[in-house]
Amino acid sequence: MCGIAGKLFFGSQKVESSEIQKMLKTLVHRGPDDEGIFLDNNLGLGHKRLAIIDLSSQGRQPISDAEGKFWLTYDGEIYNYQELRRQLEKEGTKFKSKTDSEVIIYLYRQYGPEMLTMLRGMFAFAIWDKQKQELFLARDRLGQKPLKYFYNQNCFIFASELKTILTQKEVKKEIDWSAIDEFLIYSYVPTPKTGFQNIKKLPPAHYLIIKADGNIQLQRWWRLDFSQKLKLKENEWEQIITEKLIESIKIRLQSDVPLGAHLSGRIDSSLIVALMAGESSSPIKTYSVGFGERDYNELPFARKVAKRYRTDHQEIIVNSDALELLPKLAYYYEEPFGDSSAVPNWHLMQATRQHIAVALNGDGGDENFAGYDRYRVMQWHRWLKLLPAQSLLKKSAQKIYYYLHWHKAKKIIQLLDILAPTRLDTFLRLINAINQTEKQQLLPTDKPTSDRPNFLAQKFQAVAHFSPLDQLLWVGINSHLPDNLLVKIDIASMAHSLEVRSPFLDHEFMELTAKLPPHLKLRGNIKKYLLKKIAARFIPEECIYRRKQGFSLPLEHWFRKKNYLDLLRTKLLHDRLPLYGFNTQFIGRLIEEHRSFRADHSRLLWNLLYLNEWFKVWF
C-alpha cells in the first residue's frame, strides 16, 4: 500500500520536482518506507511506498517497462499477480523485480485498459504513456483504494488524498456547499464530490484517460450483476461459498511482513479468523476494540473466538475522551465524514500497527449476505405500512421513551417515522440522517443545496428489474460501501501505515454471492441465513445468533452526560457553525430534545460536531 500523486500540464509548461516533492510530504503516512519521482517535461509522477511484497529497492516507484515507454505509480495489492506474471513470462516478458507493480505495467503495455478485468485485488494507479502522451488512471471495482483529482483548462492533478492536491498553487480551497447538503443527509459525501469545489473522487470501477491536449474520458469497466442466479441445492451452496471464501483468504495471506486479523466477535470477522487459523501453522495475531458501556461492548464474544483458535489476542478499550480525536480525524479524513465508528477504528489501527503491517478483516459480509437491519425492515414494508393507529402508537412510544428511557420504545418511534407509502420513500427515510424539513431549518438559506437530490433514488430505480433484496444490496454496494465503509478503513489504516485486506470483498467472491438466491441471504427474520449455517461449523453459537451491537460510539448515552452537553453547546452554538449561518436556535433545540429523552438526535449531533471541526481544520 502506498500514496500516489501526479501532475500534467496541458501545454509546454514543465512540472518541477519541487511541485511533486511538496505533494509527497503530505503522504508520508501512506508510505514511510521509500519515495520516488519521475519527470517527463509537462508530466510529473510521485510515489510514497509502504513495502509489503519484495522489500528490496527494486520495488521503488514510479516504475517503468524495460524501454521506459510506460511509467506507473500505484497503490494497492494484486493478489493474483504471480499467476499473471507467469502468463506474461510465457509471452516473452522479462521482469527485474518480484513486485505486483511491474506486472501491472506489462499488462497495460500488452492489453491496454482491458487489463483491468484481469486484476484480482484492490488498487488505484496512474500510467503515463510517453509515446501517446497520455495519462491513464484507474480504480478498483469496489473503491477500496482512493483516487482524487482536480483539473482546469491548464492542468490535471491527482493523488491518493485531496490534502495532497491542495498543496498545488493552481488549486483554490473553496467549500462545495452542495456536498455539505448531501453530507447532512447521508453522513458522508457521495462520489464524485469531496466537500471541496473542483476536487473529485474517481468512482469505483472507472478509469480516466487524460490526453496532453486536455481531453478527458471517463469510462466504467465493471458492474456487479445480480440478475443471473445459480440453481443449486442449499448444501451445495454451503460448500462452494466456503471453498471460495477460503480461497479468498489464502491469496490474502501473501506478505513479506508480519500479518494478523481484526476480530470483533461478530460473525464476519470471527469466521475469517477461524478459516485463517486453518491455513496457518502458527497462532494468528488478533486485535479487538471495545467500550466501557456494556450494551456497546463486544469484547467477550471476541475472546471466545480467540480462545477457541488459540490466537495471540490483544484488546483496546475506547473511553469517552474519544472526541479529543476529532481535529485529527477531520484532517486525515479530509471530507465531511459522519460515521462515528471512525474513532474505534482509529484506535484499532493504531494498536495493530505496533505489531503487524497487514491485517485481514470481516468487512463486506453484510453487503454479500444482507446483514444490515435495513434489509429486514424493507422486507416487511408492505405489512408495516398497514399498521393501524400509527399516530397513537408513536405517541405512546414517545411517552415510554421519555419517562422510562426504554430502548425498544425508541426503535418503535424510529420505525414509525420511516414508514411511507412506497418502498423507495421508506428506504430513503431509513438511511437519511435528517429529513428535508429539518435540513431547511438547519442550513443557511443563502448557500446552494444539492444539485442531485434524487441520486440514490436513481440508483434504486436503475435496478428495478432485480429482486427487492438484490436491489437494496446493489444500491448499498454502489453508495454506502465505497463512500463510507471503505473510506473509513482506508483512511484509518493508512494513517498508521497499515494495510487492511478484506476477503469478503474479493470480486470473484462477490460475483458468486450475487448469484445466490435472496432467500438464502434473508430468510424470514434471519439475516445472513446461509453464512450463519456455514459459521456454525467454525465459531461459537453465541457469536452467531445474537443482537448486532455495531461498532459505533455510544453517542446516545454520552450526549446526555453533563460534560458532553457542555461540549455540544460550546462547539455547536458558539464556534464555526454560527459563522457559516447555521441555525443555532434549531441546533439548541436538538440538544435539549436529546438530553430530555424526547428524541435520539445523536447521529445528527455527531455529524454537526464533525462538520464544525472540519470547517476549523480546512477553512
Q: Same domain for 283 and 317?
A: yes
Q: Same domain for 38 and 175?
A: yes
Q: How far is CA 308 from the centre of its chain?
A: 30
Cell of 554: 455510544
Q: How far is CA 292 from the centre of its chain?
A: 26
Q: Same domain for 162 and 275?
A: no
Where are the strands (E) in 470-530, listed by range?
A: 499-501
Instruction: Report the 3 state secondary structure along 3-51.
Output: EEEEEEECCCCCCCHHHHHHHHHHHHHHCECEEEEEEECCEEEEEEECC
Predicted confidence at residue 127, as pLDDT, reads: 98
Q: Which residues of the chain have pLDDT under 50?
A: none
Predicted confidence at residue 194, as pLDDT, reads: 98
CB 171 within 8 A of CB 16: no
- Structural domain boundaries enclosing 248: 223-385+420-550
**Residue 390 within a domain:** no
DSSP symbols for 385-448: TT-SSHHHHHHHHHHHHHHH--HHHHHHHHHHHH--SSHHHHHHHHH-SS-HHHHHHHS-TTS-
Predicted confidence at residue 389, as pLDDT, reads: 85
Q: Same domain for 499 and 373?
A: yes
Phi, psi of 352 (to 5 degrees): -65, -40
Question: Which of 372, 358, 316, 324 has its CA nearest to residue 484?
Answer: 372
Q: Same domain for 89 and 170?
A: yes
Final residue in a domain of this structure, among 550, 574, 608: 550
CB 607 within 8 A of CB 443: no
Predicted confidence at residue 320, as pLDDT, reads: 56
Which amino acid is located at 536 in the chain? Answer: A
Q: β-strands 2-9, 34-40: how paired?
A: unpaired
Q: β-strands 121-129, 70-78: how paired?
A: antiparallel
Q: Same domain for 215 and 234?
A: no
Question: Which of 117, 141, 138 has its CA nearest to residue 367?
Answer: 141
Predicted confidence at residue 294, as pLDDT, reads: 66
Domain CATH for 202 = 3.60.20.10
Which amino acid is located at 423 in the chain? Answer: R
Predicted confidence at residue 547, as pLDDT, reads: 67
**Residue 39 within a domain:** yes
Q: How many residues does the chain have?
A: 619
Predicted confidence at residue 566, as pLDDT, reads: 96
pTM tops 0.75, yes or no: yes
How far apart, in Å, are the Cα atoms of 496 and each of 1, 288, 487, 499, 564? 12, 16, 14, 9, 28
Q: Same domain for 132 and 175?
A: yes
**Residue 604 within a domain:** no
Predicted confidence at residue 360, as pLDDT, reads: 97
DSSP H/E element including 127: strand 121-129
Predicted confidence at residue 316, as pLDDT, reads: 84
The model's pLDDT over 391-432, given as tens digits with 9 standing for 90+, comes to: 898 899 899 988 889 888 998 998 888 999 999 999 999 999
**Residue 536 within a domain:** yes
Where are the strands (E) in 132-233, listed by range?
A: 134-139, 148-151, 155-159, 199-201, 206-211, 216-220
Q: Same domain for 182 and 281?
A: no
Dihedral sign of CA atoms 186, 191, 192, 195 in order: positive
Cell of 396: 405512546
The residues annotated with a catalytic role in the active site are 2
Q: Same domain for 471 and 330?
A: yes
- The reply to whether omega before 482 is within 30° of 0 (cis) is no
**Residue 108 within a domain:** yes
Q: Same domain for 155 and 246?
A: no
Final residue in a domain of this structure, among 550, 577, 603: 550
**Residue 593 within a domain:** no
Predicted confidence at residue 493, as pLDDT, reads: 97
CB 503 within 8 A of CB 254: no
Domain CATH for 501 = 3.40.50.620
Predicted confidence at residue 548, as pLDDT, reads: 63
Lay out the sheet containing 199-201: strands in order across.
34-40, 43-49, 2-9, 155-159, 148-151, 199-201
Q: β-strands 259-262, 358-360: how paired?
A: parallel
Q: How far is the C-alpha of 586 from the C-alpha of 589, rounded, in Å?
A: 5
Core vs surface per residue 600-617: b (16+ CB within 10 A) or e: bbbbbbbbbbbbbbbbeb
CB 388 within 8 A of CB 400: no
DSSP symbols for 280-325: -SSPPEEEEEEESSGGG--HHHHHHHHHHTT-EEEEEEE-TTGGGG
Predicted confidence at residue 292, as pLDDT, reads: 67
**Residue 47 within a domain:** yes
**Residue 614 within a domain:** no
Cell of 484: 463510507
Q: Same domain for 446 and 310?
A: yes
DSSP H/E element including 359: strand 358-360
Structural domains counted in the chain: 2
Question: Which of 335, 595, 372, 383 has its CA nearest to residue 490?
Answer: 335
Q: Same domain for 187 and 206?
A: yes
CB atoms inside a 10 Å sphere around CB 497: 18
Predicted confidence at residue 256, as pLDDT, reads: 80
Final residue in a domain of this structure, among 169, 192, 220: 220
